[in-house]
Amino acid sequence: MNATEILKLHEIKKTPGRIAIINALVNYNQPLSENEIKAEMQEMYDRITFYRNVQALTQAGIIHKIVIDNTTVKYGINHCDHGHQHQNEHAHFFCEQCHSVVCLEEVKIPEYNLPSGYKCTESDIIIKGKCKKCNQ
């Protein structure tokens, strides 16, 4: 699926900025930070539009935000081949050496037994270490 088809499938407007963000994530096939996407977009990058587009793409279920720490935030593409569902909550791996982030789609987020009265709306798992390449 190309960027135009992805936007159409999720029923949001096609803009050059949104297409550029999706293309960057699809081409790299791994989550990217704002700076990494910016490098791909080159002169098309604009800070305010970037944030608006990221928000629109997140709300539409096209991308997800991965917060590693105060300084590292990455955006990953959602894969919706299975009947267009986005409940695919998965763990993420952060490589401390090359700072790459990988979506571990096969590692599901467990359901925790919370004390009574608590309701979970979101739970993230970030596993840190060395990626396959750096661990060689």
Q: Which residue is nearest to Zn ion (CB)?
A: 80
Q: Does 131 bind Zn ion (CB under 5 A)?
A: yes
Instruction: Looking at residues 6 to 45 of the shown chain, list those that interact with Zn ion (rule: CB under 5 A).
Output: none
Tell me which residue has tokens 């700072």.
99
Residues touching Zn ion, count (CB under 5 A): 9
Shortest reach from residue 127's CB to Zn ion, in Å? 12
Adjacency order of strands within the sheet including 32-33: 32-33, 73-77, 63-67
Instruction: Looking at residues 97 to 116 of the shown chain, list those that interact with Zn ion (rule: CB under 5 A).
Output: 97-98, 103
- Out of 19, 80, 125, 126, the only residue in the binding site for Zn ion (CB under 5 A) is 80
Q: Which stretch binds Zn ion (CB under 5 A): 12-20, 42-50, 74-82, 119-127?
A: 74-82
Distance of CA 123 to the CA centre of its chain: 15
Measured CA to CA in angstroms, residue 56 lies from 4, 14, 50, 51, 81 at distances of 15, 11, 10, 9, 20
Shortest reach from residue 10's CB to Zn ion, in Å? 6
Nearest residue (CB) to Zn ion, 114 versus 132: 132
Q: Does 84 bind Zn ion (CB under 5 A)?
A: yes
Distance of CA 115 to the CA centre of its chain: 30
Beta strand spans in the chain (E): 32-33, 63-67, 73-77, 90-95, 101-108, 126-129
Shortest reach from residue 5's CB to Zn ion, in Å? 11
Distance CA 66, CA 7 (A): 21
Q: Enumerate binding residues for Zn ion (CB under 5 A).
A: 76, 80, 84, 95, 97-98, 103, 131, 134
